[in-house]
Amino acid sequence: MRLKASVKLISNANPRLHAELPNSLFMMFVLISNRKTDLLDAMKNTTSNTKAWSWVAVLSTLIALGLHAYLTVEFYQLKFGVSSGKSLCNVSATFNCEVVAISPYASFLSVPMALWGLMTNLIFLVLFVGAWSGMASSTSLWTRLSLWLSGAIALASVVMGAISATKLGTYCLFCIGTYIASLGTFVGTWMWSRGRLEPTHNDMATLMGPGKLLLLLFVAIPGLAFFGNKVMLDSYGAGRLGIVVQESLNDWVSAKTNDFDPTKGLVYQAGKGDAKVTLVEFVDLLCPHCKAATPTLHAFAESRPDTKLVLKIFPLDGTCNQVIQRKGDGIRCQWSYALFCAEKLAQKGWPALDWIFAHQAELNFPQYDTQLQEMATALQLKLEEMKACMGQSDIQDLVTAMANEGQKAELQGTPAIYLNGRKVDRGQALPVLDGIYKKAKE
């Protein structure tokens, strides 16, 4: 009413204003309406952006969970020497998940870092979904805790990345994937939580009081990690692990010392200079247990520069190994020759070993020529040069000489593992190998 009276008073005092006033009011209404539309659009865009960031946080966490799960399984398989073959992310000497997984920095409180990451991301997902869905009793509190936990995960990723770069000099592509995912989780959570966070309260008092359920979620992280570790150890029959390590150590100390030729075989050493520890492994190329044990030994040597690994061939075929009474079809001998010809011609013995182990179940005599061509193509070797090399006496004599070394060491089967010349029983298990490695360096 007052507004109408004021308008009428002004219009009576100024007839021209009276004529233009309706147009002015209309223009003002249009401006306000447009501003309101812009405001609503901005609110819609903000809501849309917020929803997008929440999905970034969720999807990043799911990716991290998948990668951590894979790395956890990889850790235990390498730990107990039961790897199914070369890791998916074992690309080169620089990018090698196996080296990182088996390094001294791969576990904390005897629990693999991958398992810690798996459980922490799982608890974060529970917190975030609780806040995101609005089902939590205190959405603001759950949001703050989600943000803090995502920040802690991101910080841990930065620390682990720095350790990998400065201490190991080797990188794990899947680990890098978890680092990137953790940063995505943190950024997504932070962007989503903006405008949702109330002024910080005494959250610790809340957690100790009415928020005990949330406190239990945080306590569940180490609880789940230790429980998961026990389940995995039990699944690999590690209940007597301490006793097994001690028994193997005692057997190694009392074992006779063999004098192996370190120049005969495939040789690998990450460091320079004389090695303090020399690992010798005798393998048969078609032996599934050798395929499982070799990645653990190779990763062990890669993660310890003072260790040299020498892989020797002991074909379970009397065709090229006089220790074996029964002669086979010669396929084991032929692949042994091919292995060392790949090394002689192009220093590709280790890649050739990886190829042979990867195709181990398919290798047979009728398809030998085709398969040899496939290996030569994969390694960029000339097939005719390979065949010529395999027929030379020096290569055949080399395989025979290694088999004779195995005979002299009274080798009973493959894989057979020796550390500084002494036989290591159960040497494909990392705890056993690591325990004897430490003893040998004393």
Provide the edge-to-edge strand list for the sheet that holds 416-419. 266-269, 307-313, 277-283, 416-419, 422-423
Amino acid letter, 132:
W
Q: What percent of the chain is modeled with pLDDT above 90?
A: 57
Residue 75: how many other CB atoms lie within 10 Å: 24
Percent over 70 (pLDDT), the chain: 83
Token duo for residue 118 = 């798996």
- What is the identity of the amino acid at 237? G
Assess whether pLDDT exceeds 90 at residue 61: yes
Q: Which residues of 384-419 are buried (b: 16+ CB within 10 A; e: fewer)?
A: eebbebbeeeebbebbbebbebbeebebeebbbbbb
Banded pLDDT at 201 (limits 50, 70, 90): low
pLDDT of residue 56: 95
Highest averaged pLDDT of the listed ranges 77-91, 229-243, 287-301 = 287-301
Identify the pLDDT of residue 212: 62
The pLDDT tens digits of the residues spanning 397-422 come to 999 999 999 999 999 889 999 999 99
pLDDT 10s digits, 238-269:
777 788 899 999 999 999 999 999 999 999 99
> DSSP assignment of 332-376, as one string?
HHHHHHHHHHHHHHHS-HHHHHHHHHHTGGG--STTHHHHHHHHH
Lowest mean pLDDT among 115-129, 199-213, 289-303: 199-213
Mean per-residue pLDDT for 51-77? 94
Q: What architecture does CATH give domain 47-235?
A: Up-down Bundle (1.20)
The candidate with the shortest Cα–Cα distance to 281, out of 240, 314, 327, is: 314
Return the higher-pLDDT residue of 241 and 200.
241
Query: CA 244, CA 240: separation in Å to the nearest integer?
Result: 6
The answer to whether residue 156 scores a pLDDT higher than 70 is yes
Q: How far apart are CA 272 and CA 279, in angstroms?
A: 16
Q: Which residue has the higher pLDDT, 351 or 198?
A: 351
297: Cβ contacts below 8 Å, ≥ 6 apart: 279, 281, 309, 417, 427, 428, 433
In the chain, where are the structural domains located?
Answer: 2-44, 47-235, 257-440
Please determine, for residue 370, whether its predicted confidence score (pLDDT) is greater than 90: yes
272-282 in b/e form (b: 16+ CB < 10 A) is eeebebbbbbb
On average, the pLDDT of the chain sits at 84
Lowest mean pLDDT among 49-53, 145-149, 235-239, 374-378: 235-239
CATH code for the structural domain at 257-440: 3.40.30.10
Tell me whether the CATH fold assigned to 47-235 matches the one assigned to 257-440: no
Judge contact between 414 and 254, C-beta under 8 A. no
Per-residue model confidence as pLDDT tens digits over 357-369: 999 999 988 899 9
Both tokens assigned to 194: 């903006």
The pLDDT, as a whole number, for residue 38 is 46
The yes-or-no verdict on residue 35 having pLDDT over 90 is no
Q: Place 40 in a pLDDT band, splitting at 50, 70 and 90.
A: very low
User: Who wins on pLDDT, 9 or 317?
Assistant: 317
Whether the predicted pLDDT of 84 surpasses 60: yes
Residue 195 has pLDDT above 60, yes or no: yes
3-state secondary structure of 420: coil
Q: How remote is the C-alpha of 163 from its chain's centroid?
A: 15
pLDDT digits over 266-300, tens only? 999 988 888 999 999 999 999 999 999 998 899 89
